[in-house]
Amino acid sequence: MTIDEIIGFVADLEGVLAVTPRPGDGSPEISWGDTFFFWSPDGTVPAATQPFATIVTKNYPGDERSRLDRPGSFRVNVAAGKDCFRHWTGHEPGEPADDDPAATDTVLAHPVYASAGWLAVVDPGPRTTAALHELLRTAHQRARARHDRRHGHTGRPGNSSNARRADTYP
């Protein structure tokens, strides 16, 4: 799977805002080229909400174990929740994992945010395509439900607009 394929898949989910920071947009340089996915039916970056999934293209300080400094490497991070996390890792979020955080095309506990129920896939490929699609759909549904609870929505509104993109990603 390519970064563009993943961005396209997630951006096609209802109410998604995909943000890819670029030079000159006011975002921190470390985030340039990465992509952040938010549930945002109004198309604006939520002020007090974390993304439900991200694509990172480089090592971040304190998060080097996935070895994203390898040419072409990237990692998809997904706020999967406790149930999905348990299903994929066989243990509770926050419990130590024996995973190699640099293993490719494998669903793993996120090397930094596992305690919050995040999963990760470095360089997704044929073994993880279906799983990653399902994890991204689940994270999207969880983000929508969280938004609805916070804003007092009790049911699913009609089909709101499709994804909005806040970047110029080719």
Predicted confidence pLDDT, tens digits, the chain (170 residues): 999 999 999 999 999 999 999 999 999 999 999 999 999 999 999 888 899 999 999 999 999 999 999 999 999 999 999 999 999 999 999 898 888 999 999 999 999 999 999 999 999 999 999 999 999 999 999 999 998 888 776 554 443 434 444 443 22
For the chain, the DSSP string reads: --HHHHHHHHHTSTTEEEE---TTSSS-GGGTT-EEEEE-TTSS--SS---SEEEE-S-BTTB-TT-TTSTT--EEEEE--HHHHHHHHSS-TTS-----TT-BSSEEE-TTTGGGTEEEEES--TTTHHHHHHHHHHHHHHHHHHHHHHTT--SPPS-----EE-S---
